[in-house]
Amino acid sequence: MEIKCNALVLRAVDYKENDKLLTLFTADRGKLTAVCRGVKKASAKLKFAAQPFCFAEYVLAERAGRHTVISAFLHDGFYPLREDIQKFYAASSVLEVCNLLQPEGMEGGALFFHAVQTLGKMCQESEGGLLVEFLLNALALAGYPLRLDGCAKCGNAIKSRSRFSFDTACFYCDECSSENCAPVSEVTYRTLRIAAKAEEGELEADGVKRALRLLKEYFSQKIESKGESLSEYIRLL
Ligand SMILES: [Zn+2]
Protein backbone atom coordinates (compact mmCIF):
# COMPACT_ATOMS: atom_id res chain seq x y z
CA MET A 1 0.00 0.00 0.00
CA GLU A 2 1.17 3.53 -0.76
CA ILE A 3 0.65 6.47 1.59
CA LYS A 4 1.01 10.12 0.67
CA CYS A 5 1.53 12.49 3.59
CA ASN A 6 2.96 15.84 4.54
CA ALA A 7 5.67 15.23 7.10
CA LEU A 8 8.42 16.90 9.06
CA VAL A 9 11.61 14.94 9.79
CA LEU A 10 12.13 14.96 13.56
CA ARG A 11 15.14 12.63 13.60
CA ALA A 12 17.35 10.85 11.09
CA VAL A 13 19.73 8.15 12.27
CA ASP A 14 22.14 5.96 10.32
CA TYR A 15 20.72 2.57 9.51
CA LYS A 16 22.54 -0.30 7.82
CA GLU A 17 25.27 0.66 5.38
CA ASN A 18 23.61 3.32 3.23
CA ASP A 19 20.19 3.91 4.74
CA LYS A 20 18.67 6.30 7.23
CA LEU A 21 15.88 5.62 9.67
CA LEU A 22 13.59 8.64 9.86
CA THR A 23 11.19 9.70 12.57
CA LEU A 24 8.49 11.49 10.59
CA PHE A 25 5.87 13.74 12.14
CA THR A 26 2.73 13.81 9.99
CA ALA A 27 -0.48 15.76 10.43
CA ASP A 28 -2.89 12.83 10.00
CA ARG A 29 -0.93 9.87 11.30
CA GLY A 30 1.16 11.49 14.00
CA LYS A 31 4.64 10.06 14.39
CA LEU A 32 5.91 7.19 12.30
CA THR A 33 9.21 5.56 11.44
CA ALA A 34 10.32 5.15 7.83
CA VAL A 35 13.42 3.82 6.13
CA CYS A 36 15.02 5.98 3.46
CA ARG A 37 17.22 3.71 1.38
CA GLY A 38 20.57 4.54 -0.18
CA VAL A 39 20.60 8.13 1.07
CA LYS A 40 24.13 8.03 2.47
CA LYS A 41 25.55 7.85 -1.04
CA ALA A 42 26.72 11.25 -2.33
CA SER A 43 24.55 11.08 -5.45
CA ALA A 44 21.35 10.03 -3.65
CA LYS A 45 18.31 11.89 -4.97
CA LEU A 46 16.43 11.70 -1.68
CA LYS A 47 19.32 12.99 0.46
CA PHE A 48 17.34 16.18 1.23
CA ALA A 49 14.41 14.10 2.47
CA ALA A 50 16.51 12.28 5.07
CA GLN A 51 17.59 15.28 7.13
CA PRO A 52 16.06 16.83 10.24
CA PHE A 53 13.90 19.90 9.51
CA CYS A 54 12.92 18.62 6.05
CA PHE A 55 9.24 19.38 5.51
CA ALA A 56 7.99 17.54 2.45
CA GLU A 57 5.23 15.52 0.92
CA TYR A 58 6.39 11.94 1.32
CA VAL A 59 5.19 8.93 -0.59
CA LEU A 60 5.69 5.87 1.58
CA ALA A 61 5.28 2.20 0.89
CA GLU A 62 3.65 0.40 3.78
CA ARG A 63 4.11 -3.29 4.28
CA ALA A 64 3.40 -5.16 7.51
CA GLY A 65 3.46 -1.91 9.46
CA ARG A 66 6.88 -0.87 8.11
CA HIS A 67 7.34 2.23 5.99
CA THR A 68 9.82 2.91 3.21
CA VAL A 69 10.24 6.29 1.53
CA ILE A 70 9.57 6.03 -2.22
CA SER A 71 9.67 9.70 -3.12
CA ALA A 72 9.46 13.14 -1.56
CA PHE A 73 8.51 16.60 -2.76
CA LEU A 74 10.13 19.37 -0.72
CA HIS A 75 7.92 22.07 0.78
CA ASP A 76 10.64 23.72 2.90
CA GLY A 77 14.06 22.70 4.19
CA PHE A 78 14.24 25.68 6.60
CA TYR A 79 17.85 26.17 5.54
CA PRO A 80 18.54 29.40 7.52
CA LEU A 81 18.10 27.31 10.68
CA ARG A 82 21.22 25.33 9.86
CA GLU A 83 23.41 28.40 9.33
CA ASP A 84 23.07 30.01 12.75
CA ILE A 85 23.96 28.01 15.84
CA GLN A 86 21.36 29.64 18.10
CA LYS A 87 18.59 29.21 15.56
CA PHE A 88 19.77 25.63 15.02
CA TYR A 89 19.42 24.67 18.68
CA ALA A 90 16.13 26.54 19.11
CA ALA A 91 14.72 24.76 16.06
CA SER A 92 16.17 21.43 17.24
CA SER A 93 14.32 22.03 20.51
CA VAL A 94 11.06 22.27 18.53
CA LEU A 95 11.76 18.90 16.90
CA GLU A 96 12.84 17.38 20.22
CA VAL A 97 9.68 18.54 21.99
CA CYS A 98 7.48 17.14 19.17
CA ASN A 99 9.31 13.84 19.40
CA LEU A 100 8.87 13.67 23.18
CA LEU A 101 5.26 14.88 23.37
CA GLN A 102 3.74 13.19 20.33
CA PRO A 103 2.78 9.58 21.05
CA GLU A 104 3.33 7.04 18.27
CA GLY A 105 0.23 6.19 16.23
CA MET A 106 -1.86 9.16 17.36
CA GLU A 107 -3.06 12.05 15.21
CA GLY A 108 -1.08 15.21 16.01
CA GLY A 109 -2.48 17.88 13.73
CA ALA A 110 -2.35 20.95 15.97
CA LEU A 111 1.18 20.29 17.24
CA PHE A 112 2.37 19.44 13.72
CA PHE A 113 1.08 22.67 12.19
CA HIS A 114 2.38 24.72 15.07
CA ALA A 115 5.86 23.17 14.71
CA VAL A 116 6.02 23.81 10.95
CA GLN A 117 4.81 27.38 11.43
CA THR A 118 7.33 28.03 14.21
CA LEU A 119 10.26 26.72 12.14
CA GLY A 120 9.23 28.99 9.27
CA LYS A 121 9.05 32.03 11.54
CA MET A 122 12.39 31.17 13.17
CA CYS A 123 14.06 31.52 9.76
CA GLN A 124 12.98 35.17 9.64
CA GLU A 125 12.59 36.40 13.20
CA SER A 126 14.37 36.22 16.53
CA GLU A 127 14.00 32.60 17.66
CA GLY A 128 13.92 32.93 21.48
CA GLY A 129 10.43 34.35 21.93
CA LEU A 130 9.09 31.97 19.28
CA LEU A 131 10.49 29.03 21.23
CA VAL A 132 8.82 30.23 24.45
CA GLU A 133 5.51 30.53 22.56
CA PHE A 134 5.94 27.10 20.97
CA LEU A 135 6.71 25.42 24.31
CA LEU A 136 3.67 27.00 25.97
CA ASN A 137 1.42 25.80 23.16
CA ALA A 138 2.98 22.34 22.94
CA LEU A 139 2.64 21.83 26.69
CA ALA A 140 -0.99 22.99 26.58
CA LEU A 141 -1.76 20.60 23.70
CA ALA A 142 -0.18 17.75 25.67
CA GLY A 143 -2.46 18.50 28.61
CA TYR A 144 0.03 20.50 30.71
CA PRO A 145 -1.09 24.12 30.23
CA LEU A 146 0.40 26.88 32.37
CA ARG A 147 -2.10 29.24 33.97
CA LEU A 148 -1.04 32.80 33.23
CA ASP A 149 -4.14 34.76 34.28
CA GLY A 150 -2.88 36.14 37.58
CA CYS A 151 -2.66 34.65 41.05
CA ALA A 152 -4.45 31.31 41.06
CA LYS A 153 -5.61 31.82 44.67
CA CYS A 154 -6.78 35.44 45.06
CA GLY A 155 -7.21 36.18 41.37
CA ASN A 156 -5.22 39.43 41.49
CA ALA A 157 -2.95 40.44 38.61
CA ILE A 158 0.71 39.74 39.34
CA LYS A 159 2.90 42.82 38.99
CA SER A 160 5.97 41.85 40.97
CA ARG A 161 7.80 38.69 42.02
CA SER A 162 5.58 35.63 42.13
CA ARG A 163 5.87 31.93 42.80
CA PHE A 164 5.20 29.01 40.51
CA SER A 165 3.92 25.61 41.54
CA PHE A 166 5.23 22.79 39.34
CA ASP A 167 2.37 20.63 40.66
CA THR A 168 -0.54 22.89 39.72
CA ALA A 169 1.20 24.82 36.86
CA CYS A 170 -0.13 28.01 38.47
CA PHE A 171 1.47 31.26 39.59
CA TYR A 172 0.74 32.81 42.98
CA CYS A 173 1.26 36.33 44.29
CA ASP A 174 3.62 36.85 47.23
CA GLU A 175 0.80 36.86 49.81
CA CYS A 176 -0.76 33.63 48.58
CA SER A 177 2.30 31.53 47.78
CA SER A 178 3.27 28.53 49.84
CA GLU A 179 6.68 27.11 50.69
CA ASN A 180 6.88 24.50 47.94
CA CYS A 181 6.58 27.00 45.08
CA ALA A 182 9.55 28.24 43.09
CA PRO A 183 10.28 32.00 43.07
CA VAL A 184 9.68 33.66 39.71
CA SER A 185 10.95 37.09 38.70
CA GLU A 186 8.63 39.75 37.32
CA VAL A 187 10.32 39.62 33.90
CA THR A 188 9.88 35.83 33.64
CA TYR A 189 6.14 36.01 34.27
CA ARG A 190 5.74 38.97 31.90
CA THR A 191 7.71 37.17 29.16
CA LEU A 192 5.47 34.11 29.45
CA ARG A 193 2.36 36.31 29.26
CA ILE A 194 3.61 38.17 26.20
CA ALA A 195 4.57 34.90 24.48
CA ALA A 196 1.12 33.49 25.32
CA LYS A 197 -0.47 36.65 23.84
CA ALA A 198 -2.07 37.38 27.21
CA GLU A 199 -0.33 40.75 27.33
CA GLU A 200 1.24 43.11 24.82
CA GLY A 201 4.84 44.22 25.06
CA GLU A 202 8.41 43.78 23.89
CA LEU A 203 10.30 40.66 24.91
CA GLU A 204 13.60 41.12 26.71
CA ALA A 205 16.53 38.75 26.21
CA ASP A 206 16.91 38.18 29.95
CA GLY A 207 13.22 37.39 30.28
CA VAL A 208 13.33 34.90 27.40
CA LYS A 209 16.23 33.05 29.00
CA ARG A 210 14.53 32.93 32.39
CA ALA A 211 11.21 31.84 30.88
CA LEU A 212 12.92 29.05 28.95
CA ARG A 213 14.67 27.86 32.13
CA LEU A 214 11.33 27.67 33.93
CA LEU A 215 9.65 25.88 31.01
CA LYS A 216 12.54 23.41 30.72
CA GLU A 217 12.26 22.57 34.42
CA TYR A 218 8.47 22.17 34.13
CA PHE A 219 8.80 20.15 30.95
CA SER A 220 11.39 17.79 32.45
CA GLN A 221 9.16 17.19 35.49
CA LYS A 222 6.17 16.31 33.31
CA ILE A 223 7.92 14.34 30.57
CA GLU A 224 10.90 12.99 32.52
CA SER A 225 13.33 14.04 29.85
CA LYS A 226 16.09 16.62 30.08
CA GLY A 227 15.53 18.10 26.63
CA GLU A 228 19.13 18.15 25.40
CA SER A 229 18.66 20.66 22.56
CA LEU A 230 16.68 22.96 24.82
CA SER A 231 19.43 22.80 27.46
CA GLU A 232 22.04 23.57 24.82
CA TYR A 233 20.03 26.50 23.46
CA ILE A 234 19.65 28.00 26.95
CA ARG A 235 23.39 27.56 27.53
CA LEU A 236 24.12 29.52 24.34
CA LEU A 237 21.96 32.50 25.35
ZN1 LIG B 1 -2.79 35.94 45.47
Tell me: pLDDT of 133 over 80: yes
Distance 178 CA to ligand 1 centre (A): 11
Parts of the chain belonging to CATH 1.20.1440.120: 81-236
Q: Identify the pLDDT of residue 107.
A: 86
Q: Identify the pLDDT of residue 189.
A: 97
Distance 162 CA to ligand 1 centre (A): 9
In order, the DSSP letters of 107-148 are: --HHHHHHHHHHHHHHHHS-HHHHHHHHHHHHHHHTT-PPB-
Say if CB 170 and CB 178 are below 8 A apart: no
Tell me: pLDDT of 105 over 80: no
Could you tell me what percent of the chain has a pLDDT over 90? Answer: 87
Q: Identify the pLDDT of residue 237.
A: 94
Distance 168 CA to ligand 1 centre (A): 14
Distance 22 CA to ligand 1 centre (A): 48
Distance 140 CA to ligand 1 centre (A): 23
**Domain 81-236 in CATH 3.30.540.10:** no
> What is the architecture of the domain spanning 2-77?
Beta Barrel (2.40)
Distance 190 CA to ligand 1 centre (A): 16
Q: Identify the pLDDT of residue 140.
A: 95
Tell me: pLDDT of 117 over 90: yes
Q: Identify the pLDDT of residue 101.
A: 92
Tell me: pLDDT of 216 over 90: yes
Name residues whose C-beta falls within 8 Å of residue 82's C-beta, 6 or more positions apart in sequence. 53, 88
Terminal-residue alpha carbon distance, the chain = 47
Parts of the chain belonging to CATH 2.40.50.140: 2-77
Distance 222 CA to ligand 1 centre (A): 25
Tell me: pLDDT of 108 over 80: yes
Residue 179 burial (CB count, 10 A): 5
Q: What is the overall mean pLDDT for the chain?
A: 94
pLDDT digits (tens, 9 = 90+) for 54-89: 999 999 999 988 999 999 999 999 999 999 999 999
Question: Burial level of 142, CB count in 10 A (0-12/13-18/19+)?
Answer: middle
Residues at Cβ < 5 Å from ligand 1 ion: 151, 153-154, 173, 176
What angle separates helix 205-223 from helix 228-236, to the nearest 10 degrees?
160
pLDDT digits (tens, 9 = 90+) for 167-185: 999 999 989 988 789 999 9
